[in-house]
A and B are shown apart, each in its own frame.
Chain A
């Protein structure tokens, strides 16, 4: 009787302990990545290769999503602003929403589901097929050879993707606001230019995306490395990457926003 009552608590306890263990492991893992990053710099082609897989292959989804998000912002922004007679401010609205929040956050979410999950699956499969063991036995540290280049590739790719997302969004907003609805193109840009500050908006947005890139890639490589080396284990790890990344991005966004703006 008492046992059945206690079971949920025991399970909760196990879950908490496991969560703390993983937090400890991911911190140690992060340190290990930083300490084993020298090779990523001396053999930069390893990083370039991963930038190709993480960054270049994400271009299409970023361009298309950015364009659509900008178009939606343009449409929704217009219908709201026009009620207050300030439809001219559309450019500022679109640009500020994208630069400060939507660009970094949505690009990071897309990056997590496109590249983060791929990284987890790749490293998880390398673990399941003993490729990481093989590397270890060949006296090659898998963290230096496999994990660190992916981590830095993610950190470097993310701001580029976020910047591209912003540009595509602003162009999408321009298309809807100016070309479809017929607002004045000049005021779209001038309102934007009058209200966007390079440091406060553009640079802070880029800094955000740098943090997001580091967080998403760290989670992705960690989940791959920590995955149970079976097909089911890898697929569970891939799911965890996407879910954890999404939560961490949003939480981190709140913290960074509170610090920056």
Chain B
């Protein structure tokens, strides 16, 4: 059984080759909302320290994948293992423990609208670490500097542009130096400059902090430039995977259509709703 890999085997793998010991592993995961199947028999392995993108059209179930990894929803079937721990059986306490080592950037940032930028970034620090105010302040300023927005501490989220809000949210997500970063559509609704800045930041943070990052996106161009590996999800199953170079050279019609953003192709025939795909891929078009 694949589920009973001995502990020593995993440890030795960690020491020798990072690639073969997955930080995140999904085995045979299925998920449904009521009768509606969202994901079916997903298997994937993400090695430690990698930046991986999960791509697919709207409603393909890729955001659900993130929610499964963060433990916000539990699968009906299958196993989700993050850093050797089974997420699907976690009690509430264990889940909170799990999430403490995890950061997540939400689609539109999800900044707390009633708190200032400073308090937003300080939020996870204050909640989880009893630190003196001066230390909290230093940490917040460091994180803000990391996203290039030092000096915005006193602003309220309503006063920020979309790109700035996203970067503040990123600063908040990395406030506790997470081992795992999850990005939910980090590029949606941003102008090209902010978009480039966010993409650059994600790459930089991944390399600098050594975190494992999973990014769910339908923005092919920007993600292919920064990620190490790509999974394609459609109709609740993984249909293709590969490094960015492999993906660009892929002869799968589906991948070609997705990467090039063609209106017509296999997706058009199989999924009528995906006709808006090209619009989705256009820069600045908000996610429906």
Contacts and interface: CB of A to CB of B under 8 A. Distances in A.
Interface in A110-160: 122, 125-126, 129-131, 133-134, 136-141, 145
B97 interface: yes
A130 B106 contact: yes
Interface in B115-157: 123-124, 127-128
Given A130-B107, A130-B108, A145-B127, A137 B70 contact: yes
Interface residues of B, number: 24
A138 B113 contact: no
Contacts of A141: 96
Contact of B110 (A122, A133, A140, A145): A133
Contacts of A145: 127
Given A133-B72, A134-B104, A139 B110 contact: no
The listed residue with most B CB atoms (<10 A of its CB), out of A126, A129, A138, A145, is A138
Contact of A138 (B97, B99, B108, B114): B99
B113 A129 contact: yes
Given A129-B110, A133-B110, A138 B72 contact: no
Interface of A is mostly: helix
The listed residue with most B CB atoms (<10 A of its CB), out of A130, A134, A137, is A137
Given A129-B108, A129-B113, A137 B72 contact: yes
Nearest to A125: B113
Interface in B153-210: 169, 182
Nearest to B124: A138
B124 A140 contact: yes
A138 to B, nearest CB: 5
Nearest to B115: A131
Interface of A: 122, 125-126, 129-131, 133-134, 136-141, 145
Interface of B: 70, 72, 95-100, 102, 104, 106-108, 110-114, 123-124, 127-128, 169, 182
CB-based closest 6 A-B pairs = A134-B110, A130-B110, A139-B99, A139-B96, A137-B104, A139-B100
